[in-house]
């Protein structure tokens, strides 16, 4: 009887400890594609579960800076360097807006701006030959942005993705406080298609850049997502708005 009573007390105490601590979710994500388009050339509806974000139905026409295109979808958390840049927790608004490959809780891959912007994107030879192309759209154009769910689609704890956009000023990087002032759109992180497991579900959302606000020129686009209270993940890309774009 004494043994059973002691065991009961131990179990109750253990449950009390676990129930008094709300577990934090663990995951990470990044921009997989900045300009996702359907192979049918039809406009995306943006509906969850419609299959529009899958490789079977769409293709990417524009990427983040220095983005390797050969690895399979959602696998770049295992790359070296990995793709998920988590900003430092201390004074987060002073943290680099784009990964410099060194700073942060998880530094990620270098997404700073090179002196020549084209050096961060695809070229026919050299290391750039494995990177994706820069996004180019017409004035007033639409961008559909894709990212991997990384286990945070079905449970609805993904929250919002912030899309910050500013005119390119040729700066190598900015503190996050600068990009915070350029918030342009919010997207639902959990709008995802189905997949063999929740880690690799493709998710996304679409935005339209009004010509009067975003005229011809080049812009920095930052994808920013908060998982837990102090965990911010970001990706950086460039968008060229050109009347001659296809």
Cβ-based neighbours of 235, under 8 Å, separated by 6 or more:
30, 31, 64, 83, 85, 111, 222, 223
User: What digits encode the pLDDT tens for the residues 224-238?
Assistant: 999 888 899 999 999
Residue 7: per-residue pLDDT: 44
* pLDDT tens sequence across 93-143: 999 999 999 999 999 999 999 999 999 999 998 889 999 999 999 999 999
Q: What is the pTM of this model?
A: 0.87
Q: Which of 38-52, 55-69, 71-85, 144-158 has the highest mean pLDDT?
A: 55-69
Query: Which of 219, 224, 222 lies closest to 238 in space, CA to CA?
Result: 219
Pairing of strands 135-137, 232-241: parallel
Task: Please name each of the domains of the chain with its CATH number.
Answer: 29-241 (2.70.50)
Rounded distance, CA 95 to CA 131, Å?
Answer: 26
Residue matched to tokens 């759109």: 185
């Amino acid at each position: 009887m004494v043994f059973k009573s002691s065991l009961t007390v131990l179990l109750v105490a253990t449950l009390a400890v676990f129930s008094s601590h709300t577990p934090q979710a663990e995951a990470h994500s990044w921009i997989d594609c900045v300009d996702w388009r359907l192979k049918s050339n039809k406009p995306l509806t943006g509906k969850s579960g419609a299959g529009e974000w899958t490789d079977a139905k769409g293709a990417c026409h524009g990427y983040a800076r220095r983005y390797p295109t050969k690895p399979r979808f959602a696998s770049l958390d295992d790359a070296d360097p990995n793709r998920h840049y988590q900003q430092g927790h201390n004074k987060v608004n002073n943290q680099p807006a784009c990964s410099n490959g060194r700073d942060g809780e998880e530094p990620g891959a270098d997404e700073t701006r090179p002196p020549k912007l084209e050096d961060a994107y695809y070229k026919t030879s050299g290391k750039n030959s494995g990177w994706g192309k820069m996004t180019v759209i017409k004035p007033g154009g639409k961008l559909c942005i894709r990212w991997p769910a990384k286990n945070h689609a079905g449970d609805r704890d993904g929250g919002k993705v912030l899309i910050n956009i500013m005119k390119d000023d040729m700066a190598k990087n900015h503190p996050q406080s600068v990009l915070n002032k350029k918030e342009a759109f919010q997207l639902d992180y959990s709008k995802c298609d189905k997949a063999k497991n929740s880690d690799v579900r493709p998710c996304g959302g679409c935005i339209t850049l009004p010509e009067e606000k975003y005229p011809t020129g080049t812009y920095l686009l930052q994808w920013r997502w908060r998982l837990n209270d102090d965990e911010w993940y970001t990706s950086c890309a460039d968008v060229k708005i050109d009347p001659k774009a296809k």
